[in-house]
Each structure stands twice: as C-alpha cells, then as structure tokens.
Structure 1
Amino acid sequence: MQLDMAADELKSVLNRLRRAQGQIAGVIKMIEEGRDCEDVVTQLSAASRALDRAGFSIIATGLEQCMAQEGQTPADKEQMRARLEKLFLSLA
C-alpha cells in the first residue's frame, strides 16, 4: 500500500516525529544525568504519545485513501481493511 500524504498532513506527521525525537534525546540525557524517575517517565510518556499520534495520522490517511479507491473487489477491500486493522492494533 503506497501512502500519499498531502503536504499539510506530511508536515504534521514530520513535526510530531521530530518532537518525539527531541523528547527521546531528552530522556537519554535525563537518564545519563541521573534525573528523577518521575521526570524521566513523564518525558518518555510524552514521546510515546507523539509517536502514537504520528502513527494514527498515517493510518487515518491510509484509511481515507482506501475508501476513495474505486474498482476494488470486495476481497481487495477486505484484505486492505485487515492490513489497516493490524497496523492500527500494533499501536494500541
């Protein structure tokens, strides 16, 4: 399944991924510095949410594109639905 994202969707996903990248770098630094466990877990949780939101955005775009495709057989649609469901559940 090829994913074609509009420029604004792509920008949003990339921003979330960059935010998560920065948060993970921050977590590493916090651990190296021996920072408080609660602070580390809070920052790690924020990074996890950013990654989840990026993933959900990508899956939502995939769903939208699949719904718009014409000429698919019911079997094709079911196979695509199963693939997207598997992707969605991998983030849960």
Structure 2
Amino acid sequence: MENDTNSLRRLKTIEGHLRGIVRMVEEDAYCIDVIRQIQAVEAALNKVSSRILENHLNSCVITAIKGDNLKERERVLGEITEVFEMANKV
C-alpha cells in the first residue's frame, strides 16, 4: 500500500479519540457517553477502511485483473471475497 496521507491522518485522529475513550473509562464516565464515543470511533474506522479498500480496488485489483498472471488474479479476487465475507460476519 502506498503512503496514503489522508488515511494516515484520519487514523492518527482516531487514535487520539480512542485515548480519550480510555480516559473516560478510567474516570468512570457515564456509560452511554462512552458507548457513543466508541460508536463514533467505529464509524470513523469504517470510513478509513472503505477508503483503503477503494484505493486497493482502483490500483492493485485492476492491475491484477488486467495482467496475464492467472494465479495473481485469482489470489487478489480471493482476497476481496474474503474481505466481504469478514464484513458480513461483523
């Protein structure tokens, strides 16, 4: 994966947000407030994940599909299938 500065910046922001949640738990914050913050982090992670997947589809997957290497094409398509299967289990 090439350096995606936007995703990296978002992940660092999420990291700070997560540290804030840890502090909330340590300080015995109201449970619903903690849950809302956790949900916000989950949504932010999902957004970053979608962006990284989109970049992967537009670069690595397209390259593999257009290429002549059948094994590489099957491997990449298998990875994409696996990602979607995992997403459906969550």
TM-score w.r.t. structure 2 length?
A: 0.77
1:1-92 aligned at under 5 Å gives the runs 3-5=1-3, 10-65=4-59, 66-69=61-64, 70-91=66-87, 92=90
Q: How many residues align?
A: 86
Contact 1:17 1:54 survives alignment (8 Å)? yes
Identity %: 23
**Distance of 1:47 and 1:28 partners within structure 2:** 12
Contact 1:59 1:88 survives alignment (8 Å)? no
Task: Report deviation, 1:59.
Answer: 1.5
**Distance of 2:39 and 2:46 partners within structure 1:** 10
Structure 1 unaligned blocks of 5 or more? none
Contact 1:27 1:40 survives alignment (8 Å)? yes
Contact 1:16 1:53 survives alignment (8 Å)? no
SS at match of 1:72: coil
Structure 2 unaligned blocks of 5 or more? none
Contact 2:11 2:48 survives alignment (8 Å)? yes
Contact 1:20 1:51 survives alignment (8 Å)? yes
Letter paired with 1:63: L
**Distance of 2:49 and 2:76 partners within structure 1:** 17
TM-score w.r.t. structure 1 length?
A: 0.76
